[in-house]
Amino acid sequence: MDDISRKLGISKKTLYQYVKDKEDLLSGAVEMFNEYEEKQLSSLYEKGLNAIEENLEIKKWAVTMLKNLHPSVTYDMKKFHPAIFHNLIERRQQFMYRSAYDNLLKGQKEGVYRTDLNADVIAKLFIGKMEVMFDEVLFPSDVYSAPDVYMEWFVYHIHGIATPKGIELLNKSIKNIK
């Protein structure tokens, strides 16, 4: 708290007028981050893109976020603030589930995703696969770049759910990005 008050240019006494302790400060920061993240993603959904393009926009946004996230942040939160970390993950999973589920239904209606998919199961698998990407045992950050792992996972995911029309659209969209 000394370091934080010094960086903010306020006294610790003033800082404690706004937060009870480190846990309260971190909890508030995580809440702000969650709201920011959800607002950013919601704005992507309002662009009127097709399901594949929407997923690509989410991928680009996620890669930017991953580039700015140091692995020690996750490690430290898990180790020193497990309740706050659990709440962060739970809220993110709920939001991402709703987003993935809606995107699957949208893609099925557009004919870019297979109609024989169970959207509930695929959306939950989507969330589970995202968690694996951050597993330091499988993908140590000194060996694997999080954006590279995400891109491989993303293409793998789309190939598993897309129709030939969707694969064609994915390939065209990826060429446009490069």
- For the domain bounded by 21-177, which CATH number is listed? 1.10.357.10
- pTM of the predicted structure, to 2 decimals: 0.81
**pLDDT mean over 86-102:** 89
Domain limits, the chain: 21-177
In 3D space, the residue among 88, 75, 158 whose CA is nearest the CA of residue 117 turns out to be: 158
Distance of alpha carbon 38 from alpha carbon 42, whole angstroms: 6
pLDDT above 90: residue 63? no
Q: Give the model confidence (pLDDT) of 116-126 as tens digits.
A: 999 999 999 98
Distance of alpha carbon 36 from alpha carbon 92, whole angstroms: 12
Residue with tokens 């499988």: 138
Model pLDDT, residue 64:
79
**34 or 106, higher pLDDT:** 106
